[in-house]
Structure 1
Amino acid sequence: MKKSLNEIAQYLGGRVSGDGEVLIGGLATLDDAGEGQLTFLANPKYAAKVATTRASGVLLPEGAEPHGRNAIFHANPYLAFAKLLTLFYVSTPAPAGILPGAQVAEGVKMGTDCTIHPGASVAPGVTLGSRVVLYPGVVLYPGVTLGDDVTLHANVSVRSGCRIGNRVTIHDGTVVGSDGFGYAPDGKNWYKIPQIGIVVIEDDVEIGSNTVIDRAALEVTRIRRGTKIDNLVQIAHNCIIGEDCMIVSQVGISGSTQVGNHVIMGGQVGVAGHLKIGDNVMLGAKAGVPGNVAPNQTVSGTPCIPHRDWLKASGVFPKLPEMKKSLGTLERRVAELEVLVAKLAPGETEVQ
């Protein structure tokens, strides 16, 4: 597929500078692009590369210098480039129905144009929307509901009664609806608390590989609309994750925590249980969150503190050995002065 710069600009809502009829057949980075390809500049520190790229066109932010290149100016070139990657390279396979080797129980309700690959297992009482794709090894327990345009990649498990909305993608090896970690002390032993709730994943959510979202003890663990969850994330029972959140890899969120809308959690953030994190909060990588976090702030560190304070503290940390040495020297000098002062005769004002 080839499109002219004019066609691409119209599709993106941008404007062309240079030859709008040049044809584009693919996308590449500033360094690797060649003739017939389009590249983009999102970070101003790489602006000099626009002059040397071999691309036939460059996506640029408004006001950037095109260096004589054919260009499309756009308010958000990074987003525009992502949309073009979808346009040029993402295609939807034709629906193939239930393929040989798939196990689908009698009475399963299924919409149109679904594909169920060999090795997938769909239990009784499951409901599938239209254009659902289940890859090999997917297991849907009894009573699961999937909406339209859901894609579950290889070895995803969705446990009993859980509900997944429309346009949800879940990547390989993720488990939705495993038992929450709940045990009551029984002397020296532990008695398992049955986890009888479910998980509800709302529309337009994407979940990475090998992530686990536990079912609620009694009611619902919920992932709200538009949230994106990376690989290797643990979300415990009865958590509520708000809309349009971004949760990066190796985050762990303890039970019954409520996360607001548009919250961003960096890698390896750890959140204690029964907390409330407000809207528009950013948690820096490896932040430890022991208490509630008010809306509209950025915090970092363990335990987490305002990000600016954490930056100042981080700047001091490498200096601590030298500061300790200086403090030891000062302590010795003060001790010596105290000895000299003690030796002063009454009425003397200086040491001889």
Structure 2
Amino acid sequence: MAVALTLSELARLVDGDIVRGELSAVYDNIASLDEAVREDISFLGNEKYYNQFLKSKAGVVMVPKGFADGSEEMALIAVENPSYAFGLAVKHFTKALSYCFQAGIHPKAVVDPSVKVDPAKVRIHAGAVVMAGAQIGEGSEIGPNVVIGEQVVIGRDCHLHANVSIRERCVLGDRVILQPGAVIGSDGFGYETVNGRHEKIEQIGIVVLEDDVEIGANTTIDRARFGRTVIGEGTKVDNLVQIAHNVHIGKHNFLVSQSGVAGSSKTGDYVIVAAQAGIAGHLTVGDHAMLAGRCGVAVSLDGGKKYGGTPAQPLMVHQRQQAALRKLPELLKRVKVLEKDQ
């Protein structure tokens, strides 16, 4: 376990203000509000956990600015974002337990002689296959049974977890994370029906993942028919997401589990696509738009707005419609009564 923190050290670590507590008090672990004890650090990031906070035995809790509730025996540190601050504390306490990068190529990995890689500065695990012409940047780690296709370029400090597949010529920037089972560069779903048969259209483009992208487990991103499918810098894609050929996802998007984007559509920067939402093909979703869960996008949408429903509409309109629908059974009963009275 990492070195314990005093209250004053913790405040400096998270750039917070001490609301109350003894500066020299020592804390050596992190825990949730309902499980924390006197030596633990916790946080209050959502008001629905307020009752847990009041009952918590945590030694110190990171809270929003201007907050001073709770037991006088509990130290408080006020921060801009308690969840993020708690994350910094978690990093501190897990650092000593974290996996230590050890460079080298496992003897049971298969690496083509033409691959550009420095064995002293990367790690390639057993069962990995790296094909001809690929490049792997310094500090990157290739997990067990990963398959890297011909002429793939992987930047610095990337981490490809077990069973990832990257097909030929795709490009990864720096600090890209691919969770287990992600597939980058599979063929786009392209066919033409000719004389009653579905004829495959060759998919000769690539996928580009820009710096600091993370792709979730078993997510699939199709290569472009021609040109590039692009996932913009800093975007985070959850598990079980499908991104089709020639899609362009902007910077710092969130795409949540089981969502999907059809071919040639584009999202702006800082777009949120919630769980099971879908964007049809050849559409544009503007910067800072938010698509609620199960939202279905059939036309291009302006940025800076929240949308819900299928087809997508302003979220407030959708919510009012859903509230009205819940009243429909009772209204139908009233209509039947009125009809009988006539």
**TM-score, normalisation: structure 2:** 0.94
Aligned residue in 2 for 1:4 = 6
Alignment deviations for residues 104-135 of structure 1 (CA, whole Å, 9 cap, x no partner)? 11021114521100001100101000111111
Match of 1:148 among 112, 134, 156: 156
Q: What does residue 66 of structure 2 align with?
A: 63
Picking from 241, 264, 279, the partner of 2:287 is 279
2:253 is equivalent to residue 249 of structure 1: no
User: Pairwise mapping of residues 94-105 of structure 1 onto structure 2 (< 5 A)?
Assistant: 94-105=101-112
Which one-letter code corresponds to 2:28 in the other structure? Answer: G
Task: Please give the per-residue CA displacement for 1:289-343, whole angstroms capped at 9, x wherever unaligned.
Answer: 111011111010111111111111111112222323333454566xx5xxxxxxx
**Does residue 31 of the first structure (1) align with residue 61 of the second (2)?**
no
Deviations 1:211-248 (A, max 9, x none): 00000001000000000000000000000000110000
**Aligned residue for 1:131?**
139
Q: Which residue of 2 aligns with 1:234?
A: 242
2:191 is matched with which residue: 183, 189, 197?
183
| Separation of aligned partners in 1, 2:111 and 2:48 | 54
C-alpha displacement at 1:41, in angstroms? 0.7
5+ residue gaps, structure 2:
none
Root mean square deviation, CA, Å: 1.4
Contact map agreement 1:95 1:131 (CA 8 A) in 2: no
Q: What's the CA shift for 1:80?
A: 0.5
**Partners of 1:213 and 1:227 in 2: CA distance:** 13
Larger radius of gyration: 1
Residue pairs, 1:321-332, within 5 angstroms = 321-330=329-338
Equivalent residue runs for 1:1-352 within 5 Å: 1=2, 2-16=4-18, 17-66=20-69, 67-68=71-72, 69-90=74-95, 91-111=98-118, 112-330=120-338
Q: 1:195 to 1:48 in 2, by over 3 A?
A: same
Whether the 8 Å CA contact 1:265–1:284 is kept in 2: the answer is yes
User: TM-score scaled by structure 1?
Assistant: 0.91
**Displacement after TM superposition at 1:7 (Å):** 1.1
Question: What stretches of structure 1 of length at least 5 have no aligned partner?
Answer: 337-352
Which amino acid in structure 2 is aligned with residue 93 of structure 1?
C
Query: 1:341 maps to what in 2?
Result: none
Q: How far did residue 187 of structure 1 move?
A: 1.4
Residue identity over aligned pairs, in percent, reads: 40
Distance 1:48 1:322 in 2: 36
Question: Partner letter of residue 59 of structure 1?
Answer: M
The structural deviation recorded for 1:139 is: 0.2
Higher relative CO (Cα under 8 Å, sequence separation at least 6) belongs to 2
Partners of 1:51 and 1:294 lie apart in 2 by: 43
Report the 3-state secondary structure (helix = DSSP H, G, I; strand = E; otherwise coil) of the residue aligned with 1:95: coil
User: What SS does the corresponding residue of 2:322 show, helix, strand or coil?
Assistant: helix
Q: Contact (CA 8 Å) 1:20, 1:70: kept in 2 or not?
A: no
Letter in 2 for 1:199: V
How many residues of Structure 1 are paired with residues of Structure 2 in the alignment?
Answer: 334
SS in 1 for 2:226: coil
Letter in 2 for 1:180: G
User: 2:44 & 2:205 partners in 1: Cα distance?
Assistant: 47
How far off is 1:35 after superposition? 2.7
| Inter-CA distance 324–47: structure 2 relative to 1 (3 Å threshold) | closer
Residue identity opposite 1:132 in structure 2: S
Amino acid at match of 1:32: E
